[in-house]
Structure 1
Amino acid sequence: MTQSLDYIAGAARKWLSLTDKPLILGLCGAQGSGKSTLAAGLQRRMQAEGRMTAVLSLDDLYLDGAERERLARDVHPLLRTRGVPGTHDVARGIAILDTVKAGQPVALPRFDKGKDEPADEELLLPGRVELLIFEGWCVGARPQPDQALANPVNALERDEDAAQLWRRHVNRQLSGPYADLFARIDRLVLLAAPDFSVVHAWRSQQEEALRAEQGDRASHAMDVVQIDRFIQHYERLTRHILDDMPGYADHSLFLDKDRGLRMAQ
């Protein structure tokens, strides 16, 4: 992870030197790829160099449970589970990025994954942000071609989305509101997993770390069966990102199964 951080920090310094306006840096990576850790490390480095830096996670834009229940009822039951495009407050995200770009103070939301609801408290940034790191598993993603949606990629899609309503709704979200959100990103970096098969192991490591950290309070940590079902919600778009995003990201960092940097471009 140190090599990846060194690489991104060097790129960020270059990009910041080319503008006197706030910079929105998108950081995309599959679940467990280390993007949150990397974002926090980059924030510390930039802050130490005197640059006001903040991190906004796409996860902190999740809709509340009531809104996701409405989507589950009106659109498709799979939208009850947070994660895919369509389950975020995109309008809030756009407003935050626009406020940062305007050089104005901004409040960043937080999402409580234990309660599966937005947290009551927000992080108020007191002054002008020079660098906002916008990180998330599908940040910067583009929609798939319609013909790519026909065949299911896993059992979840085969058994619970046979009519393709869920995945086509997700794809429309990427074509519409999410495209508007991601258009506000100035630079985009991809943390590329070696393939989707490592995501289960990476997510399992996250859940184990949660149990070790919180003990009896980690009641929302998932077991192996729950992880397997959960990551199937992310599989289609994760595979698409790994195929598509290296062609347009400003930098792609290709990782090995231990999250070490194999190659950067």
Structure 2
Amino acid sequence: MVEHVLTHLENHRARFSTISSNSSPSSSAAPPPLFVGAQGPQGSGKTYLTSRLREALGKKGVRAVVMSLDDLYLTHEGLVQVAGGNLDGSERTGNVLLKGRGLPGTHDVQLGTEVLGALKEINGAVGVDGEGSFNKQGRTIELPSFEKSLFEGEGDRLPRGEGKGTVVSAPPTVDVVVLEGWCVGFYPVSDECLKRRWTGAKQAEGGGGGGWEEGLTESDKASVRGLMGVCEMAGVRMEDVEEVNEKLKAYVDWWQMLDMFLQIKPPEHSPYAIIYKWRLQQEHNMKSRNGGKGMSDEQVKRFVDRYIPGYVFFGDGVTKGLEADVKAEEGKCDNEASVQGALTARRPSWIGRGLVITIGEEREVLGVDSF
């Protein structure tokens, strides 16, 4: 993993050096950081691995910053509002998938865009008419911080400006920025794909039965198969998934900032069942360190239940990207609004620079491959 990052960092620096020398031979501008996406399911060890990656790179003279998607969650008040509830504890009808932090729609997109954009420019290399320029003034950024143990495990984002988040300053140069999270690199899907997977998932959940694969693509089957005997999407409506799909569109601009990718993947024979075990271990570990504050085992199960549809419908976007709507491809949108709303195909920026690490139930490495 370290060598993979170092190889692409060297290539990244070489590309910037070529662009910089062509535009201004006397320029000494530092290149922008290499942006690395890191995705893995809850409890898989991605936070541990990315922290170890940062340490290993540091020993080689490479300065890396790790930012978690979790720290971009809305404030507790914002999460309550998104969930369709009231601060007094009463509830309104809402999307069951958004009743708590986790899925796209529960993050502060504006804040994420602001922070990632600032990190992209922290070394002073900014785009000016397509060319590189250098701002000698230093930059300081306080990364957001979300405390998961607050509000009985519902969590809250800590106030910025009070020194509670990691403070990143340049100079010295920031060489690598890692954005890690369970749904980093997930892409929205077309209406046709969503409907196919919805039909297959409802037939396959809880053990399924014959015929659930009918009409599904191979990618659909791989995404849906893990549901059988593991999770029942009781109470989840197709419009709930459609809303999350719509919210996910705003995240694509974040993904387009990524230069390369690291993925931690569970074994294909039990991609979802193993997540429950891992996430429960993670919660127990946190509670052992903070005096017992956090979720109960039953709350953890319900918590993970909400995440599973995210893997089923959007998880293969890491390697596939964005599939175009049939109507968009064929030019059959009815009006200007539908043209703007239709999805057009988009290839992930990291394809050809991705590394996938498959791990087993005890998080042992089963295989490493590139994509």
TM interval, short-chain normalised: 0.7 to 0.9
Greater relative contact order, per chain length (Cα 8 Å cut-off, separation 6+): 1
Taking the aligned partners of 1:35 and 1:234, their CA distance within structure 2 comes to: 16
Distance apart, 1:204 and its partner CA:
1.5
What is the deviation of 1:190? 0.9
Which residue in 1 is equivalent to 2:133? none
Q: Is 1:149 the equivalent of 2:184?
A: no
Does the Cα contact within 8 Å between 2:185 and 2:317 map onto a contact in 1?
Answer: no
Question: Deviation of residue 254 (structure 1)?
Answer: 1.0
Matched, 1:213 2:317: no
Q: TM-score, normalised by structure 1?
A: 0.87
Describe how 1:27-176 pairs up with structure 2 within 5 A.
27-73=38-84, 76=95, 78-102=97-121, 103=123, 104-115=139-150, 116-120=155-159, 121-127=164-170, 128-144=173-189, 145-147=193-195, 148-150=197-199, 151-152=201-202, 157-159=233-235, 161-162=236-237, 164-174=238-248, 176=249
Instruction: Percent identity, please.
Output: 26
Q: What does residue 251 of structure 2 align with? A: 178
Structure 1 residue 196 and structure 2 residue 272: aligned? Answer: yes
Distance 1:210 1:167 in 2: 30
Structure possessing the higher radius of gyration over alpha carbons: 2
CA positional deviation for 1:94: 1.6
CA RMSD of aligned residues (A): 2.1
- Conserved? CA contact 2:186–2:316, under 8 Å: no
Moved runs in structure 1, 4+ residues, more than 6 A?
none
Shift of 1:57: 0.2
Is the 8 Å Cα contact of residues 287 and 294 (structure 2) preserved in structure 1?
Answer: no
Structure 1 range deviating more: 62-71 or 149-158: 149-158
The structure that is helix-richer by fraction is: 1
Secondary structure of the corresponding residue to residue 19 of structure 1? helix
What letter is aligned with 2:106? T
Q: Match of 2:337?
A: none
Give me the whole-angstrom Cα distance separating, in 2, the residues matched to 1:131 and 1:139.
17
Using the alignment, how far apart are the partners of 1:76 and 1:263 within structure 2? 37
Q: Secondary structure at the match of 1:24?
A: strand
Whether the aligned pair in 2 keeps the contact of 1:193 and 1:254 (CA below 8 Å) is: yes
Q: Give 5+ residue unaligned stretches, structure 1.
A: 1-7
Q: Structure 2 vs 1, CA of residues 106 and 149 (structure 1 numbering), >3 Å: closer, same or farther?
A: farther
